[in-house]
Amino acid sequence: MGRKQAREGAMKLLFQMESNNDFSDDALNIYLDNFKHDEKETEYIKEAVITIRDNVDEIDNNIILNLEGWSIHRLAKVDLSVLRLAIYEILYRNDIPVEVSINEAIETVKKYSKEDSFKFINGVLGGFVRSLDK
């Protein structure tokens, strides 16, 4: 196992939390009790989900600023979860190269979302990264 599995776990948990409108520590702990991950994966999932939860307004604002012709409320929950996770990594994880975060987001959305969602995710993340360079 590794970071790829941890990312998928974090995305699934974010999806669940968004679907249930429950971003509590209880929801996090219930997920971790029911889905086994090794120590490093669990650490990544906890850090990612807690940081995203605590900074969701900033993260979502960065998504909103890079949506063209879309509302954040119209996004598929899988796509929203993947975007939140990728932007979290880009903003808060200096140990993960930006290209890796974008590539992993695209691979995750190819696996869990609609057939062409990866193009949308790539466009939003590309716009976000370009805005950081300015």
> Which of 94, 85, 73, 72 shows the shortest CA–CA distance to 112?
85
Looking at the predicted structure, is the pLDDT value of residue 134 above 90? Answer: no
Helix (H, G, I), strand (E, B) or coil at 68: coil
d(C-alpha 51, C-alpha 43), whole Å:
12
pTM here is 0.95
Count other C-beta atoms under 10 Å from residue 1's C-beta. 11
Residues 20-47, mean pLDDT to the nearest whole number: 96
Name every residue whose Cβ is closer than 8 Å to that of residue 59 and which is 6 or more positions away in sequence: 52, 84, 87, 88, 91
Looking at the predicted structure, is the pLDDT value of residue 57 above 70? Answer: yes
Looking at the predicted structure, is the pLDDT value of residue 131 above 80? Answer: yes
Structure tokens at 39: 């120590």
Structure tokens at 51: 């940081």
Looking at the predicted structure, is the pLDDT value of residue 56 above 90? Answer: yes
| Cβ pair 84, 56 in contact under 8 A | yes
Please write the tens of the pLDDT for every residue from 63-81.
999 998 889 999 999 999 9
Angle between helices 56-64 and 117-133 (to 10 degrees): 100
Domain 3-133, CATH: 1.10.940.10
Looking at the predicted structure, is the pLDDT value of residue 1 above 60? Answer: no
Domain ranges (residues) in the chain: 3-133
